[in-house]
Chain A
């Protein structure tokens, strides 16, 4: 059974640029959630996708957007990058909406200069 994978591992961008992060969910999981984790803090919920539809969103501006594909993989897009967007971006998959046991990927470390 393949776990959750994310790409790229690390990324450096400059202010104003756009970035796309990718996530492959664990086999059989149709729910994907994205989190932003700043240094020294707990992960903050960005949004969740269930069967290709957005199913809940945290307090993040519209420049954070996402997609889920028919194979349940997902993308997180961030436009007009700001310095404060520098963080570890985590993707988690779960079976249906039983979200308590979510399986996290290793994350993508984004640095915005």
Chain B
């Protein structure tokens, strides 16, 4: 599975848009990009998944350039409750031995 690199931490203020970029230079053709969110003392929660271009759901957008060597998670108008660790993962869907490989994640702090 491709290794990912993302910033260790980010600061933002309420109401701002936050963009977290993840680098995955060795992504393979069949790999998907997935983002999870984790609050303290809770299990991670799936946010969004994509393969190429742009994916949007009710909580976030995921931008993936044509070369797919990076991706950007965009959180619109963050609130204090968005303070969490965000993980970028790359892996193959429906791999018979599929497993999620988490890095250290990006700690997002949203200030009032």
Contact = CB atoms under 8 A, between A and B. Distances in A.
Interface stretch (B13-21, B39-47, B68-76): B39-47
Given A41-B104, A42-B87, A56-B99, A104 B44 contact: yes
Interface of A: 4, 33, 35, 41-45, 48, 55-56, 58, 88, 90-92, 97-107, 109
Range, interface on chain B? 20 to 34
Contacts of A33: 99-100
Interface string B87-100: 10101011111111
Given A4-B43, A42-B105, A107-B43, A99 B49 contact: no
A102 B93 CA distance: 12
B7 interface: no
A97 B43 CA distance: 19
Contacts of A88: 41
Contact of A102 (B42, B100, B101, B105): B100
Contact of A99 (B41, B42, B85, B100): B100
Contacts of B96: 55, 97
A106 B38 CA distance: 10
B103 interface: yes
Most buried by A among B93, B100, B105: B100
B69 to A, nearest CB: 19
Given A92-B43, A99-B91, A102-B46, 11 more contacts: A35-B102, A41-B104, A42-B87, A45-B99, A45-B100, A48-B99, A56-B97, A90-B44, A97-B98, A99-B100, A100-B91
B32 A100 contact: yes
Contacts of A102: 46, 100
A41 B107 CA distance: 11
B34 interface: yes
A56 B94 CA distance: 13
29 contacts: A4-B43, A33-B100, A42-B85, A42-B104, A43-B102, A45-B99, A55-B97, A56-B97, A56-B99, A58-B99, A90-B43, A90-B44, A91-B43, A92-B44, A92-B100, A97-B96, A99-B91, A99-B93, A99-B95, A100-B34, A100-B89, A100-B93, A100-B98, A101-B34, A103-B46, A104-B44, A106-B43, A107-B41, A107-B43
